[in-house]
Amino acid sequence: MPGRASWSWTRGRVLAAVAVLVAGLLAFPGVVPNTVGNLGSLLETFLPWGGLAVPVLLVLALLRRSATAMVSLVLPAAVWTALFGERLLPADRGTAHDLTVLQHNVNDENPDPEGTARALAHAGADLIALEELTPDALPVYEAALAPGHPHHAVVGTVGLWSRYPLADSRPVDIRPVEVTGDWSRGVRSTVETPSGDVAVYVAHLPSVRIRLPDGFGTGRRDESAAALGAAVAAEELDRIVLLGDFNSTLDDRGLDPITSRMTPAEEGFGFSWPAAFPLARIDHVMTRAATPVTTWTLPATGSDHLAVAARIKL
């Protein structure tokens, strides 16, 4: 049309540079250091959302009618697809498995523990791991889960309920050095399944906060992750199932002491927090010498987290 700007290879070079930068950060988030405000961990926590830069840049490239910017968008789009595209595929929950497990931070301010407990009891899991248990709510969960899960172990604010007998249940010390008082967020039990004994760990790592001027505060969480990683490394049983709220995503380097030793159930995005509009998967199921075959989130309960379920082949 007369007067309408044509596409150009000279316009939009800044947009093209931004597209290349986005692709680089998606592919190599580790280049962003944690020396200033733990920016590297912050980027890794929300890494899948980096793909939203592509449609934003696409709109800007169209407005600028920049051929250079349009072509450059292929790079971040391809990187995001390679990293996360498989997670868009539907889950196959019919895969053969030996164990169904469920992980849920039930929220210590949950306004409806009775409803939450009923939902968990009817979820069809063999093992149920809970965090943020309170003295007032604990009897509610015990009563609701007992019929289908008669064996349980509770340490501090975390607990494990099982269809199968439990043995050698004991605390796991993941307390950061600076934390004092009554703080116990780890438990380990041997679950005597029909397929053999499995060491099951339940853990709740410390929360993280974004505060000025410190930035992304991950110090205590990372310290607990290192302690938990050491505990599973020292486990004598070959097969381990680890369940918990780690206040961290699988992409976050803060979980390296754990993820380097375990196989996470990571099918789909499985964002679990916050329940009202999930932005990150911080609730996890991981295994050693066993294979997670599928994982999914359950409908919202009275908690600010979604429950995460997984099927495991022993």
Question: Sign of dihedral through CA atoms 141, 259, 288, 156?
Answer: negative
Per-residue pLDDT of the chain (314 residues; tens, 9 = 90+): 444 678 989 899 999 999 999 999 999 999 999 988 999 999 999 999 999 999 999 999 999 999 999 999 999 999 999 999 988 877 666 679 999 999 999 999 999 999 999 999 999 999 999 999 999 999 999 999 999 999 999 999 999 999 999 999 999 999 999 998 889 999 999 999 999 999 999 999 999 988 777 789 999 999 999 999 999 999 999 999 999 999 999 999 999 999 999 999 988 899 999 999 999 999 999 999 999 999 999 999 999 999 999 999 99
Q: What's the pLDDT score for residue 106? A: 98
Longest dimension (CA), the chain: 81
Q: Which of 71, 67, 92 is nearest to 313 (CA)?
A: 92
Q: What's the pLDDT score for residue 95? A: 73
Chain-centroid distance of CA 80 in Å reads 19
Q: What's the pLDDT score for residue 3? A: 47
pTM: 0.92
Q: What's the pLDDT score for residue 4? A: 61
Q: How far apart are the first and last CA of the chain?
A: 66
Where do the domains of the chain lie, and which CATH numbers do they carry? Answer: 13-88 (no CATH), 99-313 (3.60.10.10)
Q: What's the pLDDT score for residue 92? A: 67
Separation CA 248–CA 22 (nearest Å): 22
Q: What's the pLDDT score for residue 199? A: 98
Q: What's the pLDDT score for residue 1? A: 45
Contacts of 240 (CB under 8 A, 6+ apart): 198, 199, 200, 201, 232, 262, 286, 287, 288, 289, 290
Residue 295 near residue 267 (C-beta atoms within 8 A): yes
